[in-house]
Chains A and B, each alone.
Chain A
Amino acid sequence: MTTPASSRSQKRKFRFQGKYLLLIPLIFMSVFYLLPLYVMLSTGFKSFSEVNLQTMWNLPKGFSLDNYIAAYEKLAPHLKNSLIMVIPAALISSMVGSLNGFVLARWRFRGSNLVFPLLLFGMFIPYQSILIPLAVFMKNIGEVIPFLGAGTIPGLILVHVIYGIPITTLTFYGYYMTVPKELVEAARMDGAGMFGTYRHIFLPNSLPAFVVVIIWQFTSAWNDFLFAVILTGNQNWPVTVALQNMAGSQIIAWNVQMAGSFLAAIPTLIVYIFLGRYFLRGLMAGALKG
């Protein structure tokens, strides 16, 4: 017979030791998450002579860059297209989102409460429901302003900026709501107008929100496939479309596809590794109140 006190302490002890057993399922799940990464990396480092579907799980015997070089030769122009598309798209988006968020959160006008949900809805629509008008519209724009029309990179940037308005506005809105109203009122007392208030109070304090939004837009524009495949010709394909085309062709071997996949994933992975904290915040903004 144990006294209640000692049985309780035994129970606690058991719980304490049992806790580390929970690492087993965690490690097991880690394998699931690492498998695709492992197969991408290990295949990439194998030499052409070593590549074989039947030994795809074996570690590379040596260190070879054959696959990465072959994939890079195919994808380099498209990696460049992605970069010159994504950077302006992310920067412009963040500027637009910041101004919208500022007004809707702290410089409200009559009816601004109605504008907000109407903007937000645009974040969730399936793009299939606007794809046909979008394709026609961008083609028509191209006839008036050639450099902005369908098939061009600036056109794709414009589309990413516009469909990015809801999420970027939402993120800045949430961030600016934490700025005390009193601060805005004090600035107005001092005679600051709208731009003065934005420039002196909001803009200098919004670095974290800018980082979140730029990362978010960078990642989603980099990873986009649907808009790119509709709106660009093969000269201007970003890397996702080029990679999918490479994977769909019978000529390019699976090992080069694996290496190409990794190349296409590198930029967003780097962003994730170094700025993951901000990336997560962007994700959470997408969940509204969570």
Chain B
Amino acid sequence: MFSKKDQLAGFLLVLPSMIAVGIFVYGFIAWSMRVSFSQWKGLTPDYTFVGLKNYLNLFSDPRFHVDVRNTVIFTLVFVIGSLLIGLTLAILLDQHLPGEAFFRALFLFPMAISFIVTGVVWRWMLNPAMGADRISGLNLLFEQMGLGFLVNQWHLTPTWGIAAVALAAIWQMSGYTMALYLGGLRSVPDELREAARVDGASELQIYRRIILPMLWPVTLSAVIILGHISLKVFDLIVAVAGKQLPLDVPAIYMWQTTFDGLFYGRGASIGILLLISVAVLIIPYLYYSLRSGSES
């Protein structure tokens, strides 16, 4: 329908962006791969090819094992926590209660704040100091409310410490999940609920049998978005806990080994592994979203 000349004009208008993304995304990924196959360690670039050596070393590196474990724990706690809280809040807000707009705004405001700010504040809320004269933060609050059994070491808890940081991430992102679910709930036609009510279904049954199954696509999107955020998590952990080894994640390891240790070869291979894990989630998602988008 467009003439060749018009098409060329459109192409030329998008061309600068295509070049920029071509270089800064695809070109840099290829460049990173090349670094990851090299032995570059030190200030001067050294592209001597060493094959998969950096990757194989990572797979047998105890620190990387901790990173993978932390990422799995963080992802599970963060994604499941955000989904449950988000869905609950969305269902509650869907009941047309007074103050709905206020609650919605309140649950969403953390999204506007940077992970660094969240991290710095939560760092003091999660203060693990114990003992009557040193206790503070949430632990102090628990004590004062008579909930002393909840007092714990937060991010200093062995193995599970990373879950405390996930709590801060839930605080930040569960409102977003709520908004996604609320959008899904609002698209359920009222006639459907009314029809189920006429047939004698209870509110609980309506949610369980009719509405929740309709929310599957929303859940899928939310899992993918939250999942890819959690694979990349970096600022939040740095702000809550600094660069402590027990709370290490791949992004922090990549950062330290590259910019503090100058081991570019290893840093690049961590980056590429992160990219692969995100791509496994995102590429099918993009494919599915864009295909169903062009059909409608």
Contacts and interface: CB of A to CB of B under 8 A. Distances in A.
Contacts of B251: 126, 128
Interface string B7-20: 11111011001101
Contacts of B228: 124, 126
B232 A265 contact: no
A225 B92 CA distance: 35
A53 B11 CA distance: 60
A130 B238 contact: no
Nearest to B268: A132
Interface of A: 15, 19-20, 22-23, 25-26, 29-30, 32-37, 39-40, 53-54, 56-57, 96, 99-100, 103-104, 107-110, 112-113, 115-122, 124-137, 159, 162-163, 165-166, 169, 193-194, 219, 222-226, 230, 240, 243-244, 247-248, 254, 257-258, 260-262, 264-265, 268-269, 271-272, 276, 279-280, 283-284, 286-290
A33 to B, nearest CB: 6
Interface stretch (B72-80, B148-156, B157-165, B283-291): B283-291
A33 B107 contact: yes
Interface of B: 2, 6-11, 13-14, 17-18, 20-21, 24-29, 31-32, 35, 45, 85, 88-89, 92-93, 95, 97-99, 103, 105-125, 127, 129, 133-138, 140-141, 144, 171, 175-176, 179-180, 183-184, 203, 217-218, 221-222, 225, 228, 231-232, 234-235, 238-239, 242, 250-251, 254-255, 258-259, 264, 267-268, 270-272, 274-275, 278, 282-283, 285-287, 289-290, 292-294
Contacts of A264: 114, 116-117
Contacts of A57: 140-141, 144
B221 A244 contact: no
23 contacts: A33-B107, A33-B109, A39-B124, A53-B134, A103-B10, A103-B13, A109-B11, A110-B7, A115-B18, A117-B287, A121-B282, A129-B32, A162-B24, A165-B17, A194-B6, A194-B10, A225-B116, A244-B238, A258-B120, A269-B113, A279-B112, A288-B221, A289-B217
A265 B287 CA distance: 36
B127 A194 contact: no
A91 B58 CA distance: 42
Contacts of A128: 232, 234, 250-251, 254-255, 270-271, 274-275
B121 A36 contact: yes
A85 B287 CA distance: 34
Nearest to A32: B171
A20 B271 contact: no
Contacts of A39: 121, 124-125
B203 A15 contact: yes
Given A96-B17, A134-B24, 6 more contacts: A35-B125, A36-B118, A54-B133, A125-B29, A225-B114, A290-B184
A109 B2 contact: yes
A126 B28 contact: no
Contacts of A162: 20-21, 24
B114 A132 contact: no
A22 to B, nearest CB: 5
B121 A119 contact: no
A112 B12 CA distance: 12
B14 A122 contact: no
B88 A25 contact: yes
B282 to A, nearest CB: 4
Given A33-B109, A125-B278, A99 B13 contact: yes
Nearest to B264: A132
Contacts of B290: 116-117, 120, 288
